[in-house]
Structures are given as structure tokens and as C-alpha cells.
């Protein structure tokens, strides 16, 4: 019944291919493939989701782009040294596979711009989009890929100047054509390029792109599936699992204060107040939406270099019960961001390719559980989000079983 599809070749093109998450994703995929570690953390490996006809890990081919040069083996060693999440032995064992990927990661320094960087340092927008498209094309041809999934894993960007042009496909085309770089970002350009090249698109960052209506229009026209924004890996994950408990007990939350200590590039970037806003915007509205009111609270993000890629979050939840008595819950979360993020990316690569193969296009609402700020989706609590995925899986399993039954009649 269960047919794996290892002859197909599926491409993964990573924007930000030398970052911690991307590196961990590639090292981890090769390690699972080699049977050196379990598939812990991959939701597509648990029932009933593993009954879907998803792409085999063996069929995945990695490539991508980064603004820094380097070799994957070196990057893997840096991550191993700083975060201790895997050993040099593992890197040695998969060294040749990692080296092979290097040839498919392009060094693209022209991608190092933002809507607020000096105008003279920004590339011409049309040329930039073309350049990205040609990278995608070359990667696809080189490996005779059946399908290509583009994943955005870049650092937090400054916000672009808002404009009505974002609302339509034509508007965004015009922004690019007229080189209106103040209303564009690299992430918007990657999305545009991905859709034009018929690629599925996953935005794991808080950066804009897949949330713009104009790009939805383009995705619909091109018939490609996509989703985002901002992978839900740590404190927000816990929040969306825990906040409903207080709601179900009518325990009114007086204050929910969060403190995040982190030592990776993300923490450093969030020191820049502009980026801080972009990130916190995605975190902020989660509680209001789940609880139906706005408790006092805030989120502090502090850069603590000694933590490496590990994050320690402390949350203080002050709540009121019967007779208006105040009580307290606290939690600490000590997780490694790239270890938490990478398997989610791997899941979504497989689910995106599956969706594309089924001819589905547009926002993949069934991936809502993976994001802090799921596009066009009001459901922010974890449990009902996960039900969306289960319902999607069920509907596809029934369809396949139905088809199988018909065949077996023949």
C-alpha cells in the first residue's frame, strides 16, 4: 500500500544556506538518511502523517544561496563547536555529501541589502530577481529535479515602506520594474522569483513576502503552494499550548512576561531596534487571540553570547482564580533553536512537495501549527492548528484508499 518515491529527485533551495538552521537541516537529513540518529523532531515520521506518500529523504537534493562564502564542512564544524549539537565524527562520516552540496550553494553578495540601506548599495531590482531566477533554473536543470521547494531561512530584515502596490501582482511587478527598492526586501524578491519559476515556497522567517496579497495572486496564477511566517519553535510554541489551559479554567491571566536569552545571530540581529519590531510583532498578538483579551505582558530579548545557538526563555504567568486569588506559574525552556527548527523545515519541504504533486496551490493552511504568524489564519492555539494538519492528512489518506479500492476492483 505504502509506496515510497525514491526515484523522484526533489530540490530544496535554501535562501540563507550557510546559517545555523540550514546547516543543521542538511547535516541532520544526511545523519537520519545514514541511520546515525533517529527521526526525532520530524512530525512527518509519526502516524498517521507518515502514511502519506511523502518524498523519501534519499530523494532530496540541497542547494541555495548565501551572502557569505565558505564551505559547508567548515560551517558544520563551527556549529558543532559552538552549540555541541553534533560531533566532528558525524561531520567526518558525511563529509563527502556535504562537499557535494557546496557546489549548489551560490555566493551572492548582491543579496546583502535592505529597504533602508544606502540607495547606492542596493542592486537593481529587476536584475536581482532575474539573478535569483537563473540560480533556481540552473539548480533545477543540473539535477533534473522533478520539483523545487524554496525555503527562506535568511536573517530578520528591516521592514519595507508599505504601499498599495503590495496588494496586487501587477503592483509588485511594477515595484520591481521601477526599482522601488524601499518597498521591497530580498525576501520579497525570493518569493517573486520562486513563484515565477513554479517553485513551492516556505517562509520560515518573520520577513515579509508570502504574506503580501500581490504575491498570493502570483502563486495562484502559477499554481504553486506556499506558507509562512516565522517558524514556531520555542517560547511561542509553549505559549500556544499553555494559554488555552487558562482560558478553559477561566483563570484570568493578569500578566504574562517573557524573557528570552539567546546567543546566536538571531539574538545579535534583534539588538537592532528595527528588526526587534518585526520579530516582536509576530510574537505579540498570540495571547490576545487565544484569550480574547489583552493581558499585561511583554517579551524581552537579550543577546547572551555564551549560550551559542541555545536559547533560555523564562516566562512568568500571573493569574487570578476563585475569590480573585492571585497565583503563579513559571517555566524555563532550554532549547537549541536550530535543532528545533530544522525538522520542521524538513517536514514542510515534504508536505509542500506533496501538495504540489497533488496539484494544490495557494496558502497551505494545514501548516498553521508550524508558524508564529500563520498567513490568513485566525487559529493561533496549537491543538486546533494540529487538527488542521490531521484533517488534511485524513482527507488525503481516504482519497488514496478510495483510489486503491477502485484499482483493486479492477
Nearest approach in angstroms of CB 289 to its own copies is 16
* CB contact set of 53 (below 8 Å; sequence gap of 6+): 2, 3, 4, 5, 354, 400
CA atoms within 13 A on the CB side of 44: 22
- CA 329 to CA 238: how far, in whole Å? 13
Residue 34 in contact with its own copies, rule: CB under 8 A? no
**Stretch near its own copies under the rule CB under 8 A, chosen from 123-131, 276-284, 331-339, 351-359:** 331-339
- If the CB atoms of residues 142 and 326 are measured against its own copies, the closer one turns out to be 326
Alpha carbon 175 to chain centroid, angstroms:
25
Residue 121 in contact with its own copies, rule: CB under 8 A? no
Number of residues binding to its own copies, judged by CB under 8 A: 75
Residue 79 in contact with its own copies, rule: CB under 8 A? no
Residue 37 in contact with its own copies, rule: CB under 8 A? yes
Compute the chain's Rg from CA coordinates.
21
Residue written as grid cell 495572486? 217
Residue 289 in contact with its own copies, rule: CB under 8 A? no
Residues 214-273 that bind its own copies (CB under 8 A): 237-238, 241-242, 244-245, 247-252, 254-255, 257, 259, 261
120 near 74, Cβ under 8 Å?
no
- CA 61 to CA 26: how far, in whole Å? 10
- If the CB atoms of residues 218 and 262 are measured against its own copies, the closer one turns out to be 262
- If the CB atoms of residues 45 and 66 are measured against its own copies, the closer one turns out to be 45
- CA 313 to CA 65: how far, in whole Å? 31
Residue 85 in contact with its own copies, rule: CB under 8 A? yes
Q: Assign 297 to helix, strand or coil.
A: strand
Residue 98 in contact with its own copies, rule: CB under 8 A? no
Q: Which of 175, 342, 364, 393 binds its own copies (CB under 8 A)?
A: 342
Residue 327 in contact with its own copies, rule: CB under 8 A? yes
Nearest approach in angstroms of CB 350 to its own copies is 13
Residue 112 in contact with its own copies, rule: CB under 8 A? no
End-to-end CA distance of the chain: 16
Question: What is the dihedral sign for C-alpha 84, 89, 90, 96?
Answer: positive
Residue 366 in contact with its own copies, rule: CB under 8 A? no
Read off the C-alpha cell for 263. 546567543
**Stretch near its own copies under the rule CB under 8 A, chosen from 189-197, 280-288, 380-388, 394-402:** 380-388
- If the CB atoms of residues 66 and 337 are measured against its own copies, the closer one turns out to be 337
Residue 280 in contact with its own copies, rule: CB under 8 A? no
Nearest approach in angstroms of CB 29 to its own copies is 10
Q: Which of 13, 62, 86, 128 binds its own copies (CB under 8 A)?
A: 86
15 near 153, Cβ under 8 Å?
yes
- CA 331 to CA 161: how far, in whole Å? 38
Residue 324 in contact with its own copies, rule: CB under 8 A? yes
Other C-beta atoms closer than 10 Å to the C-beta of 170 total 12
Amino acid at each position: 500500500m505504502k509506496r515510497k518515491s525514491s526515484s523522484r529527485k526533489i530540490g530544496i533551495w535554501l535562501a540563507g544556506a550557510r546559517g545555523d538552521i540550514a546547516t543543521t537541516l542538511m547535516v541532520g537529513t544526511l545523519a537520519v538518511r545514514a541511520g546515525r540518529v533517529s527521526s526525532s523532531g520530524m512530525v512527518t515520521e509519526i502516524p498517521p502523517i507518515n502514511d502519506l506518500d511523502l518524498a523519501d529523504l534519499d530523494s532530496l537534493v540541497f542547494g541555495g544561496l548565501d551572502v557569505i562564502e565558505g564551505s559547508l564542512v567548515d560551517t558544520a564544524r563551527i556549529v558543532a563547536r559552538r552549540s555541541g549539537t553534533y560531533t566532528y565524527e558525524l561531520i567526518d562520516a558525511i563529509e563527502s555529501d556535504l562537499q557535494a552540496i557546496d557546489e549548489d550553494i551560490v555566493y551572492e553578495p548582491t543579496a546583502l541589502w535592505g529597504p533602508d540601506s544606502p540607495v547606492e548599495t542596493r542592486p537593481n531590482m529587476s536584475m536581482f530577481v532575474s539573478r535569483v531566477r537563473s540560480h533556481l533554473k540552473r539548480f533545477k536543470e543540473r539535477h533534473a529535479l522533478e520539483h523545487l521547494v524554496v525555503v527562506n531561512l535568511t536573517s530578520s530584515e528591516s521592514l519595507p515602506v508599505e504601499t498599495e502596490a503590495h496588494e496586487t501582482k501587477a503592483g509588485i511587478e511594477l515595484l520591481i520594474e521601477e526599482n522601488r527598492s524601499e518597498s521591497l526586501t530580498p525576501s520579497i524578491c525570493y518569493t517573486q522569483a520562486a513563484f515565477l519559476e513554479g517553485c513551492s515556497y516556505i517562509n520560515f522567517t518573520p520577513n515579509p513576502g508570502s504574506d503580501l496579497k500581490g504575491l498570493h495572486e502570483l502563486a495562484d496564477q502559477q499554481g504553486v503552494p506556499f506558507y509562512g511566517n516565522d517558524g514556531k519553535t520555542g517560547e511561542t510554541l509553549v505559549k500556544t499550548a499553555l494559554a488555552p489551559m487558562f482560558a478553559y479554567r477561566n483563570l484570568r491571566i493578569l500578566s504574562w512576561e517573557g524573557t528570552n536569552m539567546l546567543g546566536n545571530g538571531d539574538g545579535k540581529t534583534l539588538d537592532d531596534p528595527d528588526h526587534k519590531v518585526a520579530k516582536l510583532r509576530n510574537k505579540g498578538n498570540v495571547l490576545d487571540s487565544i484569550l480574547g483579551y489583552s493581558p499585561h505582558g511583554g517579551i524581552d530579548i537579550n543577546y547572551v553570547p555564551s549560550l551559542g545557538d541555545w536559547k533560555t526563555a523564562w516566562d512568568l504567568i500571573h493569574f487570578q482564580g476563585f475569590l480573585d486569588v492571585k497565583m503563579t506559574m513559571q517555566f524555563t525552556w532550554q532549547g537549541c533553536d536550530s535543532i528545533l527548527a530544522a525538522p520542521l523545515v524538513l517536514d514542510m519541504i515534504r508536505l509542500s512537495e506533496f501538495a504540489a504533486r497533488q496539484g494544490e496551490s495557494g496558502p497551505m493552511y494545514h501548516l498553521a501549527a508550524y508558524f508564529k504568524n500563520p498567513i490568513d489564519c485566525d487559529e493561533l492555539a496549537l491543538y486546533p492548528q494540529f487538527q488542521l494538519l490531521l484533517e488534511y492528512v485524513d482527507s488525503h489518506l481516504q482519497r488514496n484508499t478510495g483510489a486503491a479500492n477502485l484499482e483493486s476492483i479492477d
